[in-house]
Amino acid sequence: MRELGPTQYQIVLACTDLIARAGGRQFELGYLHDDVPVDQAGWYAHVQYRGVRLFVEDQPGPAEAADALARKLLTGGRCRCGRLVALSRDGAITYEDATMADGSRWTVAQARAAGQCLWRRVGARWEPACPPPVNPNRPPRRERRRRR
Ligand SMILES: [Zn+2]
């Protein structure tokens, strides 16, 4: 089996990191066929996420399988900023009414009204475009400076 290049390795890491953050379980990445060229091995990836099994298959390599799975995991999700996760700037997202992690329903109309937050892979991590949420437990700015 060929070694993963640095970029491919980061793609796989970004996928596992995303799964860990999203609370996905039983992540599996593998291939079906031995003794064939690597791009014909039938790479697949799956993960258990919110009671659903997400699955990608027939990918040309492990990085492609991990990337496709990460995109599937992100598609239709709601970002921490309350907007819909977008994976490209064209905003062409198919979206259906969804039940969120807290059990609430999120309709197409609500998702559209919320707008979109562009997510992209930065090295070994998927990152949203929105700034990190302010932590209410963080000490005021002046105090933080003094501690340095
Ligand atoms: Zn966001």
| Higher pLDDT pick, 147 / 7 | 7
* Distance between Cα 79 and ligand 1 center (Å): 5
Q: Mean pLDDT, the chain, as a whole number? A: 85
* Distance between Cα 117 and ligand 1 center (Å): 5
Q: What is the spatial distance between Cα 67 and Cα 33, in angstroms, rounded to a whole number?
A: 20
41 CB neighbour count, 10 Å cutoff: 20
* Distance between Cα 82 and ligand 1 center (Å): 7
Q: 38-47: list long-range contacts, CB under 8 Å, 24+ apart.
A: 38/1, 38/2, 45/15, 45/69, 47/19, 47/73
* Distance between Cα 92 and ligand 1 center (Å): 17
Contacts of 24 (CB under 8 A, 6+ apart): 18, 47, 48, 49, 54, 73
* Distance between Cα 148 and ligand 1 center (Å): 30
87-116 pLDDT tens trace: 887 654 556 666 666 777 777 777 778 888
* Distance between Cα 121 and ligand 1 center (Å): 14
Domains of the chain: 6-128 (3.30.160)
pLDDT over threshold 70, residue 140: no
Task: Report strand pairing: 84-86 vs 105-106.
Answer: unpaired
For residue 145, what pLDDT is reported? 58
pLDDT over threshold 90, residue 144: no
pLDDT over threshold 70, residue 11: yes
* Distance between Cα 132 and ligand 1 center (Å): 8
35-65 pLDDT tens trace: 999 899 999 999 999 888 999 999 999 999 9
Q: What is the spatial distance between Cα 37 and Cα 43, in angstroms, rounded to a whole number?
A: 12
For residue 103, what pLDDT is reported? 72
* Distance between Cα 76 and ligand 1 center (Å): 13
Structure tokens at 1: 């089996």
pTM confidence score: 0.78
| Higher pLDDT pick, 40 / 132 | 40
- Do 65 and 44 meet the contact criterion of CB atoms below 8 Å apart? yes
* Distance between Cα 5 and ligand 1 center (Å): 30
| Higher pLDDT pick, 147 / 29 | 29
Q: State the average pLDDT over residues 9-28.
A: 95
Strand partners, 125: 122
The Cα-based distances of 29 to 16, 17, 52, 65, 123 in angstroms read 10, 14, 17, 8, 19
